[in-house]
Amino acid sequence: MLPNLRYFHLDLLTRASPLSKQVVEASVLTWRFPKLQMFGVSGTLENPKLNAEIAALLFSHAATVEEVELRHFFIIDEVARAVEWKRFTMLKKLHLLNLGTIHHLIPALYGDSSAASSRPLVIHVAAAWIKNEVVGMFNHAIRSHSHAFAQVTFFLDEFAWDDITRAFSWHRAGRMTCLLSPSLETASLAIFDKNGEPLDSPAALRCRQALIKVEAGL
């Protein structure tokens, strides 16, 4: 135990690293940091047992953590679903790869009551796309939990709206859906690009119009 540790970040190593075997064999279940405020995990190591342990480790610090970073491709979905988010009463900020787990995470964090107390939350995401298969669940969550989404502010850390206009290859490939796509009901959300421009800014509107043309095959 490190009684005064406030910042914890676990970088999971790749399979190619000579230290990977040691990481896989290690257990984090007994780690406790009573004053922990920031919990982060990133990297590329894929290991189901370790994923479950990380979720348990994060949950064991729910009472004190104010900021969580989940930027690990292989664990973000599992951790988002395994953790009981309503216990994170101090949480103020999240860092995610994308918004693909938001349809589960936000309702779990705020609960189902439309009378939920005000709890502002800032979410930073690295990507402006979500997987096509979660579009329906994403829209349903926004409609069903509008009281919760109204308390959340989203920031795109790596993209300005004009950048997104030039990066439609994923959308064209049919694998991902852009946040500005008409198929996503994002109009009510507070979303800002890396320059602080909101979703209803001229740059965002230009991007949306360009995306509509792409979807129409123009």
**Neighbouring residues of 30: CB distance < 8 A, sequence distance ≥ 6:** none
Average pLDDT of the chain to the nearest whole number:
83
Distance between CA atoms of residues 68 and 66, nearest Å: 7
**Neighbouring residues of 26: CB distance < 8 A, sequence distance ≥ 6:** none
Q: What is the pLDDT of residues 90-148, one digit of tens each?
A: 999 999 988 888 998 999 998 865 555 678 999 999 888 888 899 999 999 999 999 99
- Cβ of 168: how many Cβ atoms within 10 Å? 18
Is pLDDT above 60 for 189?
yes
Helices and strands (DSSP H and E) totals, the chain: 9, 9
Beta strand 129-131 with 176-178 is: antiparallel
CA distances to 33, 95, 182, 211 from 12, rounded to whole Å, are 19, 17, 37, 36
DSSP helix/strand/coil, 168: coil
Tell me what the mean pLDDT of segment 42-49 comes to: 72
